[in-house]
Structure 1
């Protein structure tokens, strides 16, 4: 069985224009779990959050078809098909990181990508674009430009798509759990957990601090009344000052009335008592 890569990269403008790569090398059957969960699980109805596009553009590198996009809380997921040009040396280790503008503005804070070979001449390109925020408009005008090759060089003739997408159903189904709880870290810094936002697609914890934080500084766990728990370990910055953060877990929708939120230090110790969310 062949291997595939999942890659995440932050925009070059962030943190002194450094590119952070998180590369995970796993068997195809393992790393595709979330992708297939989102796009192909017939028991889960995500159609209300998807916009079918089906548009194709072509340049000297090949043909790219944007199949569909899906709007989530401060996140856009994209599914595309790439047919490389005859002389292009392309494989699953190559990624296109799209630049996304929403209503004319760019909110991207992190890009994730995965390429899956379907045949000798066809690849499926999955992208997840995490955003600092999304406009509240029910209809979003989205400009998508595939102009970045592996986070290393620009594509001279980018593939571009203009899409009108609705987030009305997502706004209706989104659950917001206000928190506003201060937590002291082991190094003495203090953060404020602002809220937890849950959709049928993912759950995100938002927190901020007065000073810059390292993403390894804090993890979380959400626990249900029945004792089931979910770890949140991969925080990402929402601003250039590294004072606003999000930590997301895909494929988790909080549908019960109340939960406990437990901040955890990098060494595994709990930071104070559990915070009750919901149930009011």
Structure 2
């Protein structure tokens, strides 16, 4: 099983759910389920399925004797069709009023099933990943990825390049949806250092990745994700860079066929 890496501060998740300019409605499953325990009431509002990623939007109303603020995070455990595919779990808490908080979650996965309908078991069973919740908030949701599959673009790359530090990496493919674009990379050796890329459009516009995370325990398979980036041009350049945004290897041209 891949070790789950925890991350907070996923502001892009909140912007996707609240973005009025982009139409993400086709990719959302409205839930509206509410459960309650001694900590308070949690309502799961929406679930959005993306390429190897689930985005969750919930509302939390803490009980009167519970000390809660925006610095407390919930990291849900999610089973998809009864299986655990999670490799990374992140989120953000936003105070809407003194007693109401919006909980956004981004659950990164590997090899998410391509079924049109996914059966999700969602369990909010701890906060700040170190305080267990004795009676977790639990939800069962059937989420559709029909529209996502129709709009999903898979660009095969299968090119190996050598970086400036001598490391050889293979860019396997690029998957782009209206919600995000992900570059899938394999390294020859285990690396604990995040891999960094920029995407450059035909017009010269540059996008820097939003996250880089390992997909296996050996740290040889990586996902590099660009949030809210949908590749609509025919060709782009994929450029490896250092953490300080200095080019670290040859550019790779990616072209949609």
Q: What secondary structure is seen at the aligned counterpart in 2 of 1:83?
A: strand
Q: After superposition, give the CA deviation of every residue in 1:142-200 in whole Å (9 maximum; x if it has no partner).
A: 00000121011321111000000110100110111111111223343311111111100
- Quote the residue 1:108 is aligned against: 86
Once the two structures are superposed, the pairs formed by residues 206-245 of structure 1 within 5 Å of their partners are: 206-216=184-194, 218-232=195-209, 234-245=211-222
Contact 1:215 1:235 (8 Å CA) reproduced = no
User: Partners of 1:135 and 1:262 in 2: how far apart?
Assistant: 29
Gaps of 5+ in 2: none
User: Partners of 1:256 and 1:45 in 2: how far apart?
Assistant: 19
- Quote the residue 1:8 is aligned against: none
Alpha-carbon deviation of 1:22? 4.9
Contact 1:215 1:236 (8 Å CA) reproduced = no
- Quote the residue 1:156 is aligned against: 134
Contact 1:215 1:234 (8 Å CA) reproduced = no
Pick 1 or 2: higher relative contact order, CA cutoff 8 A, min separation 6.
2
Q: What secondary structure is seen at the aligned counterpart in 1 of 2:101?
A: strand
User: Partners of 2:7 and 2:41 in 1: how far apart?
Assistant: 27
User: Partners of 2:248 and 2:96 in 1: how far apart?
Assistant: 46
> TM-score normalised to the size of structure 2?
0.94
In the comparison of the two structures, how many residue pairs are matched? 257
Runs ≥4 residues deviating over 3 A: 19-24, 265-269
User: Partners of 1:112 and 1:226 in 2: how far apart?
Assistant: 33
Which of residues 118, 124, 137 is equivalent to 2:115? 137
- Quote the residue 1:256 is aligned against: 233
Q: Kindly indicate whether residue 231 of structure 2 is the aligned counterpart of residue 276 of structure 1.
A: no
Once the two structures are superposed, the pairs formed by residues 85-124 of structure 1 within 5 Å of their partners are: 85-124=63-102
Cα distance change, pair 242–36 in 1 and its aligned pair in 2 (3 A):
closer
Once the two structures are superposed, the pairs formed by residues 64-79 of structure 1 within 5 Å of their partners are: 64-79=42-57
Q: Kindly indicate whether residue 106 of structure 2 is the aligned counterpart of residue 128 of structure 1.
A: yes
User: Partners of 1:77 and 1:224 in 2: how far apart?
Assistant: 27
Q: Kindly indicate whether residue 180 of structure 2 is the aligned counterpart of residue 202 of structure 1.
A: yes
- Quote the residue 2:163 is aligned against: 185
- Quote the residue 2:146 is aligned against: 168
Q: After superposition, give the CA deviation of every residue in 1:33-81 in whole Å (9 maximum; x if it has no partner).
A: x345312222311111000000000111111000011000000000000
